[in-house]
Structure 1
Amino acid sequence: MIYVTSDLHGLEITKLKALLKKACFNENDRLFVLGDVIDRQNDGGVAILIWLSEQPNAQLILGNHEAMLLSCDFVFNEITEESIKHFDKEQTELLNNYMLSGGDVTLKALRKLQNESPETLCNIIGYLKEAPLYETVTAGGKKFLLCHSGLDNFSPERSPADYTADELIWAWPELTDRYFDDCITVFGHTPTKSYGKKYNGKILKTDTWIDVDVGVPYGNNPCLLRLDDLKEFYL
């Protein structure tokens, strides 16, 4: 069985594990997290990142929040208040934008981790740098394209490999948008409540795409979607 979730944004790892248990997820199944594990609350998702990096049957797809964190990788060598004073204008802008997007809790957790286990910090950054922008899978006799945000500037003539990173992590699909007819695109990034109150906290399915960002940082319960039969699981 193949399961997907997205935009956990600092969810406590105990809650993710409880959700996986509810879905009877086991070592023979596969889990794809469609980006934005980090930022906004609790430990910033660092515990989940560590856990994901250790799982042979789980894969993180890069999200825009992970990309923003990587754009601030200049802080990892010297995470001190003094070093921040010497950042140039571009670095300061990148860091400010990231922190305004909820990255402050993640950086705080990474500072603590650097003191306790520098090797683990290096492993996390390496894991993020190797995270793919998309994956294609087959489940239940159907083809799926998994990415973080959908496809900006979509054209059916373009293959997934033709899209830039920004087009895969910063798209904001409209409810009327259509993607591939022979492959269901599954993504997060845009909270489903953005499409109307009736979708708040729920997975949104159309005939060509599925949005699994149920708005965890807004107080909604995290979800899993099982691709084999499109069954939904909520904590």
Structure 2
Amino acid sequence: MTYVISDLHGYKLEKLKMLLAKANFGEDDFLYILGDVVDRNNDGGVEILEWLLSQYNAQLILGNHEAMLLYCEFLFDEITDESVAAFDTEKIDILTNYQLNGGDVTLKALSELNKKSPETVADILDYLHDAPLYEAVTAGGKDYFLCHSGIDEFEKGKKISDYPANAFIWAWPELDDEYFDNIITVFGHTPTMNYGEQYRNKIIKTRTWIDIDMGAADGKTEPVLLRLDDMKEFRN
């Protein structure tokens, strides 16, 4: 069975494991996290990132918040007089922007982890560098395209490889946007309630796409785990 979840934003690993247990997630199943594990709440998702390092049947697809974290990777470089001197206005702007988007908790947790195990932090950053922007899967006899945000400025017939990376992590689809005719695109990034109060805590399904972001970034709303094979939803 193939499962998807998105925009955990510091969701506690213990609660994610509870959710997977509710779905009877097992060794023969596969989980795709559609971006934005990090930032905003609790430990900023660092515990889940550590867990992902050893999971053979789970994969993070890169989200815009992971991309912003990678922009701040310089914070974990060895501190020297030269590196301090190179901490220019551009880097300060990048860091400030990340902090404004909820990155403080993640940076704090990574900093603490870096004191105990810099190797683990290096492994996490390597994992994020290797995280794919999208995946194509088949489940329940249907084809799916998985990414973080939908596809910005989508054009039918355009090769996926011709889109810039940002197209898959910063898109804000309209309800009437359409993607592939015979492939369902599944994403998060835009909380469904942003499309109207009637969509709060509900997955949105259109003819060509599914939005599964429940808005867990607020720290109060529970994410939803969706099994693609039969469209069954699981919640804590």
TM over 0.5: yes
Instruction: Give per-residue Cα distances to partners, 1:45-72, cap 9 Å, x unaligned.
Output: 0000111121000000000000000011
The alpha carbon displacement at 1:162 in A equals 2.1
RMSD, aligned α-carbons: 1.4
1:3 — aligned with what? 3
2:126 — aligned with what? 126
CA distance in 2 between counterparts of 1:22 and 1:79 reads 45
2:223 — aligned with what? 222
1:113 — aligned with what? 113
Asked whether 1:233 is paired with 2:219, we answer no
1:100 — aligned with what? 100
Q: Which runs of 5+ in 2 are unaligned?
A: none
CA distance in 1 between counterparts of 2:78 and 2:16 reads 32
The one-letter amino acid of 2:31's match is: L
* Comparing 15-24 and 153-162, the one that deviates more: 153-162
1:176 — aligned with what? 176
The alpha carbon displacement at 1:199 in A equals 1.0
Paired residues in the alignment total 233
The alpha carbon displacement at 1:217 in A equals 2.1
The alpha carbon displacement at 1:137 in A equals 0.3
Q: Which runs of 5+ in 1 are unaligned?
A: none
Question: Do the aligned residues in 2 keep the contact of 1:79 with 1:111 (CA within 8 Å)?
Answer: no
Identity %: 62
The alpha carbon displacement at 1:134 in A equals 0.3
Instruction: Give per-residue Cα distances to partners, 1:166-209, cap 9 Å, x unaligned.
Output: 11100000011111110000000000010111111221111110
With over 3 angstroms needed to count, the CA separation of the structure-2 counterparts of 1:78 and 1:201, relative to structure 1, is farther
2:20 — aligned with what? 20
Task: Report matched runs for 1:32-181 at 5 Å.
Answer: 32-78=32-78, 87-181=87-181
1:207 — aligned with what? 207
The one-letter amino acid of 1:60's match is: L
The alpha carbon displacement at 1:160 in A equals 2.2
Q: What TM-score does the superposition give when structure 1 sets the normalisation length? A: 0.96
Instruction: Give per-residue Cα distances to partners, 1:82-138, cap 9 Å, x unaligned.
Output: x77862011000000001000000000000000011110110000000000000000
CA distance in 2 between counterparts of 1:107 and 1:79 reads 16
The alpha carbon displacement at 1:222 in A equals 1.5
CA distance in 1 between counterparts of 2:30 and 2:84 reads 40
The alpha carbon displacement at 1:231 in A equals 1.1
The alpha carbon displacement at 1:77 in A equals 1.6
Q: What TM-score does the superposition give when structure 2 sets the normalisation length? A: 0.96
Instruction: Give per-residue Cα distances to partners, 1:129-164, cap 9 Å, x unaligned.
Output: 000000000001100000000000101111322221
The one-letter amino acid of 1:66's match is: E
